[in-house]
Structure 1
């Protein structure tokens, strides 16, 4: 995304057509944590220092990363791994301004929370399915039961932004799916045809019609959502 932004003539200060379409902004609250192995009294003393007080900053984004819950390791009675399912609002809660998550960096451990300031015309969501360790790449198969229309993100905005952002409802227009193992899987993409309101699945050179209900059962990896520009703007989604 950053390379494409530069190729379109954009810089850190100069916008491009890419940033005009996909760029939003967020508020980040960050607080440094004492080392977990320290005695309780030392931790309490450190938490009083300025270095360990919560700081607030603002940052732009071209996509939002959504973290999946850890997949269970237990199997059912047929010795098949149980694939969990989660509502989309469970993973979107990362941006409600209250949900805290610990991040480990070379500078130390930090507790962070996020809240959105500005929503873009087109919102890209990246569902974090792959994690790397020192030995291999793991894939999380959790299914996100997302609706494909009428997703309102107002509650993830700051109070000030809720006043200024008049249009906060989105409809899905593209869905990238990863099937199979992390190292040798395949990608499919679901695309909405705006003229007819029908959904199509693309894989290599094959293009087939797909029911909207089947899209929500896929292992979504990257999604593109289009913002409604007014409350009466409803994209024609056949079969929904």
Structure 2
């Protein structure tokens, strides 16, 4: 039996590039663990990790989590709170096609969620994350995002959804606290979609370049007409009077 006494005070642990398929790390072994890096393995199940009650950061980038994140073993009752103190979760590069079954509603402290480079067609499943501040879904296959995909009292400050297939931006009206919005390289062709920015009084930065509408109109001017408080567009600082003055 290995001596685990030296692990009692461990706060950070990194086990990467080890071809790990299953993980069973419990609070009894790592009671004070706050950050766990399991990048670039072959993990499909997370049984045991949910008991790490002090865990704040979990990186599962480049694994095989797939369609749903398995927490409990068969015939085991799902705990009310899966990761009670988890703040940051990396699930990018996992071939995830759906968020159903991830039980984000049981992660009450989650603020930063990274889901880029997956196979998502929608983001249904994150609306229960009331405290979420940063959501990253770049490089997926998302075609439609609706207002209902976000909690009515959401705290989203930054939303990254570049390189998808999104045509409509009406969903942004639900993001009343957003400061940064990245929607470049999608399928937005109707210039009237930019008018949805008008309700986002805190928005300071946006990316639009790479959408069809950019080929036919001055999207800088459209964006500033919708929201004159914008300060960065497509990575460039802008002065409203330079675009709005005749």
Question: TM-score of the superposition, structure 1-length normalised?
Answer: 0.26
Structure in which a larger fraction of residues adopt strand: 1
Question: TM-score of the superposition, structure 2-length normalised?
Answer: 0.26
Q: Higher RCO, 1 or 2 (CA under 8 Å, sep at least 6)? A: 1
